[in-house]
Amino acid sequence: MPHITVQMYPGRDEKIKKNLAEKLAEVASRELGREIEHFSVSIEDVPQDEWKEKVYDKVADPANKNVFVKPGYTM
């Protein structure tokens, strides 16, 4: 049962978040060849002043082999 987590700055409304979550689940369903009901998606708002510590430092770490698309920006 795959779960997708999205972390982003606050500010998007529930409609945008729901639309994004549904589209991510659809793409994952197609790519993994599983029915969409097997997928769940959560969205976590991370304040900008906490982004580096809570997200960037972890995903940009070269030793983190779980992140397949690294950020194209630096902090």
Q: Is 2 a catalytic residue?
A: yes
Catalytic residue selected from 2, 10, 62, 71: 2
Instruction: State which H helix or E strand residue 18 sits in.
Output: helix 14-32
Amino acid present at 22:
E
Q: DSSP assignment, residue 69? A: S
Distance CA 71, CA 28 (A): 20
Q: Which residues are the active-site residues? A: 2
